[in-house]
Amino acid sequence: MYKRALVPLDGSMVAEAIVPFILEIAGPLDMEVALLRVLIPVPPIVMEGSRHVIVEDVEKIRKDAEEYLRSVAAGLRGRGVRVTVQARFGDPVAEILAGAREVEADLIAMSTHGRGGLGRLLFGSVAEAVLRQAEIPVFMMRQTKAQVAARAAWEAVR
């Protein structure tokens, strides 16, 4: 049914909460998982009255992101799921959609922070924009910080 799922992660616990669900559906369906981290580029910062220009170390940031993705990937591989990782720079929504096209994903699976009302108005929602624009099905799981914390605590106790 599905061959390859793109899973965008932003480094937060909330985003990672989708991983158990992926395991549950990827295992039986023999699905491949493509992990993606989108990095938002920061323009060089010039300090007034100083000759220094702060330039972001792009390569280091990319390496860190890939390192992070590989740690998540290791967990999935341990359960017998095929995983690829990639890090991209740019606008999260555009890069998620581009990343999905590139790996020929037929499903995007992600968590949403589930902000509503004013919070949504102010911060916008990457998940909602992806949901609107994606041509392929989108699997979405709403997670609040409290839920994630509760689960982590529960797992620590077990």
Partner 1 sequence: MTRRLLHPSDFSRASGAAFKKAIEMAKAGRAELMVVHVVSPVLPMAAGDGYVSPKMYEEITASTRAWAQKQLDKLLAKAKQAGVRAKGFVLEGSAHEQIARFARSKHTDLLVMGTHGRSGLAKLFLGSVAGRVVAAAPCPVLTVRGR
Interface pick for partner 1 out of 12, 20, 24, 30 (rule CB under 8 A): 24
Q: Which is nearer to partner 1, 35 or 127 (CB)?
A: 127
**Least distance in Å: CB of 131 to partner 1?**
5
β-pair partners for 39: 89
Nearest to 83 by CA among 93, 73, 94: 73
Do residues 105 and 136 lie in contact, with contact meaning Cβ atoms separated by under 8 Å? yes
| Per-residue mark of binding to partner 1, 75-114 (x: CB under 8 A) | -------------------------------------x-x
Strand positions, DSSP E, the chain: 4-9, 32-39, 45-46, 53-54, 83-89, 107-112, 138-142
| Per-residue mark of binding to partner 1, 129-148 (x: CB under 8 A) | --xxxxxxxxxxxx------
Tokens of 41: 């580029």
Q: Which of residues 37-56 bind partner 1 (CB under 8 A)?
A: none
Do residues 34 and 103 lie in contact, with contact meaning Cβ atoms separated by under 8 Å? yes
Do residues 69 and 8 lie in contact, with contact meaning Cβ atoms separated by under 8 Å? no
**Least distance in Å: CB of 117 to partner 1?**
9
The residues binding partner 1 (CB under 8 A) are 1, 21, 24, 112, 114-116, 120, 125, 127-128, 131-142
